Amino acid sequence: MNDRHAPWTGAARNDFHGFDGLESLDGDAEAWSTPAPEPGSPLPPFRPSLSLQRTRFAIDLPDASTATVDVDHLSGRASLYRNDRHVQTSDMPVRFPLGSDCIEVAASRYGMQRIHLISADDSRRRLDPAPGTPEHWRAQLSRRHPGVGRALAACAVIVLTINLILLAPQLLDPVTHLPLWADRFTPFVSPIDLPAWANTALTITAGLAGTERALTFRHHRLLDAETDGIES
């Protein structure tokens, strides 16, 4: 998509968390995803086979209606449904108005960062993942096997910490050798120089760790800096 929305507004903006690369493949990232639904169209069934591309969350509202948010990670869009009828589709991050309340939706390149109902008194309640979604599967794993869930969460922290220690100096080295820096300051020489296969392995494990943390809605500004995507 060419126009992006500024956080929590309808204003257009550019630059969209890395999906520009997808756009260059075929001119538009929307070509890779389902077109936006028509207003009032029914909520389609969720297909677990598309769980790498899509996810879905729902919540019961105070007026006894149900709000459902269908997220298309590939296009970076979220669609709001009220009682299973389409209301609005917008680029993330977005704030969907619901009378005096609203639903805030933001994502990283590996999953959701925030999907909360914000009440008029500023209280916040996270929406529940729909059955069949990766977030629902991960939550069930922690409920049924809490030890395994804690182990996965700890491993993700360890992996991202190691990546931060090993990859950050290697990334800083070429940056400080650019003329803009090197003409004014002494360039930094990384004490770590791993082979390409090792850096590739670190990048892959960081992606898996980032996905684990996104599925459990964990986020730390420094620890998850490498895997952050859409700005919150």
- Could you read off the pLDDT of 163-191 as tens digits, one per residue? 888 887 887 888 887 887 777 878 888 88
pLDDT value at residue 170:
81
Residue 117 above 90 pLDDT? yes
Would you list the domain boundaries of the chain?
A: 4-130, 145-215
pLDDT value at residue 30:
43
Residue 83 above 80 pLDDT? yes
Side chain identity at 211, as an amino acid letter? T
Top mean pLDDT of 25-29, 97-101, 191-195 is at 97-101
Residue 115 above 80 pLDDT? yes
CA atoms within 13 A on the CB side of 4: 18
pTM attached to this predicted model: 0.68
pLDDT value at residue 151:
94
Q: Which of 156-160, 183-187, 207-211 has the lowest mean pLDDT?
A: 183-187
Cβ neighbours around 202 below 10 Å, total: 18
Residue 230 above 50 pLDDT? no
Instruction: Name the DSSP letter for residue 195.
Output: -
Burial of 2 (0-12, 13-18, 19+ CB in 10 A): exposed
Instruction: Name the DSSP letter for residue 178.
Output: S
Residue 60 above 90 pLDDT? yes
Q: What are phi and psi of 109, to 5 degrees?
A: -70, -10
Strands, E assignment, the chain: 4-5, 12-13, 54-60, 66-72, 77-82, 85-91, 94-98, 101-108, 111-118, 124-126, 128-129
pLDDT value at residue 224:
66
pLDDT value at residue 225:
66
When pLDDT is cut at 50, 70 and 90, the band that residue 86 belongs to is: very high
